[in-house]
């Protein structure tokens, strides 16, 4: 009885241990099942992302107007986009259509082979004109090749992208036409503003011409009087006059002084004519279209001419303060730079209209490799709003009919074309300050 009772007690002790083990197994199974569910949810999410990415890539490939051909390292076609398949007369997304050379005309095989070789060696992509077989016959395409690699960077194949050359040529032609039209419009604006400036300054130019012409006119009259005296003397000589009569006539006609003044009158007339020639040449350069090549010119002489033309007929109490060297050579088109200086000087003159003692300061010198021209006035200066819009086309603070609003905009572009800089600010003592910076002739070469 005792042994059996003891055996029964032992059996009752092992039952709780077995239940605990089963509970632990069930708990682990629940955790595993929960992990599987989480993994399944994450996997489904990644599959959805991959499907969305695939649909996105398919939509991009289908919307491409360029051809796209994916091939392996041996040139075997892996896939074509919709455009390439349609041109080749194949189903969309065609695969296993042979090699890429089957899609290309035989005389383009060498160029294609070279492109594939460069792409396989990871050389920089270079576009080539390749002729492809299409449903409409052979057609030229501008094709570029890029290597296709896996996540480890190993070469898988080559991707070819091309566009019909006809489309490119049409686009280039339209771009060139628009560029030419823009250049013509800019040239017309420059000439229009130049003629407007010349119209405002015609009285100053007329005064510039009047002085040498008057000089030539006066010397021509003097030459005419001297010629009359010489003709009278020679006529008497031809008539056989005696020596005493000739000496008396020579003293009465003052031929000694006449001969001495004859050379002076001729030199004066020549000097006046040369001055007129210089003014005409300045006008020719000023009115030039700008198609002539840049050439070295003296910026000092150009500034002096521009200032003289503008200020000649302005207020008599206008004071010009000069600080310039004897000469300073720059390279460019002197007529265009003269237009810039005239525009700036005219603005300075207009700004001092209401000032009792108008004054304009002109300083020119060299700073490093640049020639710097500073023009300031004692006017009211520039407000922040005006300074921000000063170089915008058609912006002007002048009343209607007095300014086109193109002068400073065109001046800014002209200086930029000369690889220089035009800026505007307010001077320390008040008034506006314009600064024109231009490269000195030969300075860039020496550097």
Residue 148 in 3-state DSSP? strand
**pLDDT of the residue at 351:** 87
pLDDT tier, 253 (very low <50, low <70, confident <90, very high otherwise): confident
Query: What was the pLDDT predicted at 417?
Result: 87
- Alpha carbons 262 and 270: distance in angstroms, whole number: 12
Q: What is the dihedral of CA 109, 110, 111, 113, to 10 degrees?
A: 80
**In this structure, are residues 359 and 321 in contact, taking their beta carbons and an 8 Å threshold?**
yes
User: Count of alpha carbons within 13 Å of 134, Cβ hemisphere only?
Assistant: 15
Mean pLDDT of 241-269: 76
pLDDT of residue 361: 93
Q: Measuring CA to CA, how many Å separate 207 from each of 137, 218, 279?
A: 73, 16, 11
pLDDT at 5: 46
311: number of Cβ within 10 Å: 19
- Residue where the block lists tokens 């040449």: 281
pLDDT in the model for residue 215: 65
Number of H helices and E strands in the chain, helices first, is 12, 12
Q: H/E element holding 149?
A: strand 137-149
- pLDDT over threshold 60, residue 346: yes
Higher pLDDT, 419 or 214: 419
Count Cβ neighbours within 10 Å for each residue of 412-429 and write b for 16 or more, e otherwise.
Answer: bbbbeebebebebebbee
Q: Which two tokens stand for residue 292?
A: 């002539």
| pLDDT of amino acid 444 | 44
Beta bridge partners of 129: 142
The sheet with strand 432-439 has its strands ordered as: 319-323, 359-367, 370-377, 432-439, 421-426
230, pLDDT greater than 50: yes
Q: What pLDDT band is residue 435 in, cutting at 50, 70 and 90? A: very high
Q: What is the pLDDT of residues 374-385, one digit of tens each?
A: 999 998 888 888
| 263 CB burial (10 A radius; 0-12, 13-18, 19+) | exposed
Q: Which of 446, 445, 420, 417 is nearest to 435 (CA)?
A: 420
Better-predicted residue by pLDDT, 151 or 185:
151
- What are the pLDDT digits (tens) for 41-62? 888 888 888 888 877 777 766 6
pLDDT band at 286 (very low <50, low <70, confident <90, very high): low
List CB contacts of 359: < 8 A, sequence separation 6 or more.
318, 319, 320, 321, 352, 377, 378
**So what's the pLDDT on residue 8?**
45
pLDDT given at position 400: 47
Which carries the bigger pLDDT value, residue 435 or residue 219?
Answer: 435
For the question of whether the overall pTM of this predicted structure is more than 0.95, the answer is no
151 to 79, 155, 156, 158, 215: CA distances (angstroms): 20, 10, 10, 15, 89
Helix axes 243-253, 255-286, angle to 10 degrees: 50
Provide the pLDDT confidence category of residue 363 given band limits of 50, 70 and 90: very high
Q: Is the pLDDT of residue 436 over 90?
A: yes
Residue-wise DSSP of 342-384: HHHHHHHHHHTTT-SS-EEEEEEEEETTEEEEEEEESS----H
The pLDDT score that the predictor gives to residue 2 is: 45
- Which residue spans within 169-230 are E strands per DSSP? none
What is the model's pLDDT at position 88?
Answer: 84
């Amino acid at each position: 009885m005792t042994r059996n009772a003891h055996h029964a007690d032992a059996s009752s002790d092992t039952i709780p241990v077995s239940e605990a083990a089963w509970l632990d197994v069930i708990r682990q199974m629940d955790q595993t099942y929960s992990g599987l569910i989480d993994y399944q949810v994450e996997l489904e999410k990644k599959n959805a992302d991959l499907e969305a990415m695939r649909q996105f890539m398919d939509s991009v490939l289908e919307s491409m107007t360029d051809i796209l051909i994916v091939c392996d390292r041996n040139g075997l076609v892996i896939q074509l986009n919709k455009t390439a398949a349609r041109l080749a007369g194949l189903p969309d997304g065609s695969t296993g259509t042979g090699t890429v050379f089957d899609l290309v005309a035989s005389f383009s095989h060498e160029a294609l082979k070279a492109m594939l070789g460069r792409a396989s060696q990871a050389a920089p992509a270079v576009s080539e004109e390749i002729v492809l077989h299409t449903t409409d016959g052979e057609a030229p395409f501008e094709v570029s090749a890029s290597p296709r690699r896996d996540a480890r960077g190993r070469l898988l194949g080559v991707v070819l992208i091309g566009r019909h050359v006809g489309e490119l040529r049409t686009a280039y032609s339209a771009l060139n036409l628009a560029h030419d039209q823009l250049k013509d419009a800019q040239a017309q604006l420059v000439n229009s503003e130049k003629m407007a400036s010349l119209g405002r300054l015609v009285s100053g130019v007329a005064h510039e011409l009047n002085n040498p012409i008057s000089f030539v006119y006066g010397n021509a009259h003097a030459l005419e009087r001297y010629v009359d005296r010489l003709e009278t003397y020679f006529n008497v000589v031809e008539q056989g006059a005696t020596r005493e009569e000739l000496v008396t006539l020579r003293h009465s006609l003052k031929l000694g002084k006449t001969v001495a003044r004859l050379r002076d009158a001729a030199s004066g007339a020549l000097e006046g004519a040369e001055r007129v020639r210089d003014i005409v040449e300045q006008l020719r350069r000023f009115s030039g279209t700008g198609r002539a090549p840049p050439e070295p010119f003296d910026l000092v002489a150009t500034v002096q001419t521009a200032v003289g033309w503008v200020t000649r007929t302005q207020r008599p109490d206008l004071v010009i303060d000069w600080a310039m060297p004897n000469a300073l050579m720059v390279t460019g088109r002197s007529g265009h730079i003269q237009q810039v200086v005239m525009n700036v000087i005219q603005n300075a003159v207009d700004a001092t209209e209401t000032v009792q003692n108008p004054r304009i300061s002109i300083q020119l010198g060299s700073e490093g490799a640049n020639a710097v021209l500073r023009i300031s006035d004692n006017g009211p200066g520039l407000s922040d709003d005006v300074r921000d819009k000063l170089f915008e086309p058609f912006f002007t603070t002048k009343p209607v009919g007095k300014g086109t609003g193109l002068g400073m905009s065109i001046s800014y572009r002209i200086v930029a074309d000369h690889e220089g800089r035009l800026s505007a600010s307010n001077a320390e003592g008040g008034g506006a300050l314009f600064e024109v910076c231009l490269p000195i002739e030969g300075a860039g070469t020496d550097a």
